[in-house]
Structure 1
Amino acid sequence: MAGSQDMFDAIVMADERFHGEGFQEGYVEGSRLGVTEGRQHGTLHGAKIGSEIGCYQGFAFAWKYLLHSCTTEKDSKKMKVLEALIGMIEKFPYDDPTYDRLHEDLDRIRGKFKQLCSLLNVQPDFKIRAEGSGLSF
């Protein structure tokens, strides 16, 4: 009778055992895929942010070169905003993905860029496409 009781327990407990084993296998596989997907997602969004910041930086350096010899009061305000934008870009934490104010700083840079565009009277159109990103005017 003890042998049949053990066999009965094995049958009854099989469902629970297989459920537990299946859960463990699924958890391990899901964790592995989650890390892979997370890495791909982070790489994609990091590249987009880097491309955007790079366009702002190139725009700022080009205008700094164009405005460096102008000395009117209007141009000095443009230069102050331009220098502020360049300073914000230089302080941006490119290599720290855990930086907790990354999006706040990025929004400030975007705002300063818009302010500069308004002062310069240009209408930029920043686009991210599959073949590349860039500013157009």
Structure 2
Amino acid sequence: MDDPFDSSFNLEETHLKEGYDEGYSHGLDAGREEGKQVGLKVGFEVGEELGFYSGCIHIWTSAIQIDPTCFSSRAKTTITQMQELIQKYPLMDPEDLQVQEIMDSLRLKFKMLCSSLHVKLHYNGYPGEANVTQF
């Protein structure tokens, strides 16, 4: 026969399990929403940075078309390499393992090119670089 007090003895455990299950469910929902917001923010930042580099390359290639002697052959090679990296960037596959490698290469080539051209261009979106002269 069932003891009429069994439900009273398990009351605390029942409430604990219900609270855990409810908290877990809310945590999943909140985590999904936060993940979505972070993904949108980071995706926008990456697109903005790629657009900045693409715009610079477009201007430099236009200058080369007008005056092929305006840049050294080394600078032209770097511009071409940057253009290839941007075309190679997997926009539709953010989980591609090359994403960070390509972005790091683009940043490095951009800094090298600006240095060799004696131009002080700076992308405002670089993380952690405050108090830098900005263009």
Whether TM exceeds 0.5 here: the answer is yes
Is it true that 1:70 corresponds to 2:68 in the alignment?
A: yes
Identity of aligned residues (%): 31
Provide the TM-score with structure 1 as the length reference: 0.84
Are residue 36 (structure 1) and residue 70 (structure 2) matched?
no
Structure 1 residues without counterparts, runs of 5 or longer: 129-135
Aligned residues, how many? Answer: 126
Q: What residue identity is the alignment partner of 1:83?
A: T
Deviations 1:71-103 (A, max 9, x none): 37x622211110000000110011112122322
RMSD of aligned Cα (Å): 1.7
Looking at secondary structure, tell me which structure has more strand per residue.
1
Q: Does 1:96 align with 2:93?
A: yes
The counterpart of 2:4, out of the listed 3, 6, 20, is 6
CA contact (8 A) 1:67 1:75 kept: no
Q: Which runs of 5+ in 2 are unaligned?
A: 126-133
Taking the aligned partners of 2:21 and 2:117, their CA distance within structure 1 comes to 60
Residues 23-43 of structure 1: CA deviation (Å, up to 9, x unaligned):
111111110111011000010
1:96-115 to structure 2, matched below 5 A, reads 96-115=93-112
Residue identity matched to 2:69: T
CA shift at 1:126, angstroms? 1.3
Query: Aligned with 2:4: secondary structure?
Result: helix
